[in-house]
Chain A
């Protein structure tokens, strides 16, 4: 198993550009989430999904969209990048609600 795969690992965007962060897992996990991690802020939930076709907002959803058309994939779309979205983004997946999340290796995004 590859686990949770995130691409790209690094990205620089200009303000106003859009892009999609990819996340895929091969563990047949129902639960998937996107977090952003900023220095001193811990892990903040952006969006999450409890199964294909089901998504919901987390703590900081503004400026981001998600979709879950398959169990394996959970892409995160930045609609119009802003410097405040400079962060490390982690995708994570879990078998169920009371099992630990497995994290991807992260995407370091810089918006200039």
Chain B
């Protein structure tokens, strides 16, 4: 089945710096890649996603890039703010055929701390 590896497990930055979180996946059939933010004690919430026919997507201070050949994708947060502090999860999903159809697999998470 699909395996998603996420790095780093913890990331500490100063306010205003950029943060980058990287994920790799194992199944070349994966073609949907969402990112979730989870604040302490809360549910995960979708912040951005990318589909395999797109190489990059931006939404204000966050962006995601995808390299299907290398099977990796990354989350970029610019001008970080203390409220960006949370756990971030990447995930990968296969959308057609095979035994993993419809299954969303998560990475292990990255604890991001933004220091004022």
**Are chains A and B native binding partners rather than an unrelated pairing?**
yes
Residues of A within 8 A of B (CB): 31, 33, 35, 40-45, 48, 50, 56, 58-59, 90, 94, 96-98, 100-106
A94 / chain B contacts, CB cutoff of 8 Å = 104
Given contacts A97-B93, A98-B51, A101-B34, A58 and B46 within 8 Å (CB-CB):
no
Residue of A with least CB distance to B51: A98
A102 closest partner in B (C-beta): B46
Beyond A98-B95, A101-B34, A104-B43, whether A45 also contacts B89 by CB under 8 A is no
Residues of A within 8 A of B6 (CB): 42
A42 touches B43 (CB 8 A): no
Evaluate contact between B45 and A50: CB separation under 8 angstroms.
no
The 3 A-B residue pairs with the shortest CB-CB distance, nearest first, are A100-B46, A97-B95, A50-B102
* Contact across chains for B104 and A33 when beta carbons are under 8 A apart: yes
The answer to whether B105 and A45 have CB atoms under 8 Å apart is yes
What is the CA–CA distance of A104 and B6 in the complex, to the nearest angstrom? 24
Residue of A nearest to B106 (CB): A43
Total contacting residues, chain B, CB less than 8 A:
26
A90 to B49, alpha carbons, bound, how many Å? Answer: 20
Q: In the complex, what distance in Å separates the CA atom of A102 from the CA atom of B34?
A: 12
Most buried by A among B36, B46, B103: B103
Asked if A43 and B89 make an inter-chain contact with CB atoms under 8 angstroms apart, the answer reads yes
Contact indicator B103/A48 (Cβ below 8 Å)? yes
How many angstroms between the C-alpha atoms of A103 and B34 in the bound complex?
13
**A56-B103 contact, Cβ under 8 Å, with A98-B31, A101-B34:** yes
Residue B101 contacts which of A44, A50, A59 (CB distance < 8 angstroms)?
Answer: A50
- A42 and B89 contact, Cβ closer than 8 Å, known pairs A100-B46, A101-B34, A103-B45: yes
Chain B stretch 84-112: residues in CB contact (< 8 A) with chain A: 89, 93-96, 101-109
| Residues in B neighbouring A104, C-beta threshold 8 A | 43
- B residues within 8 A CB of A56? 102-103
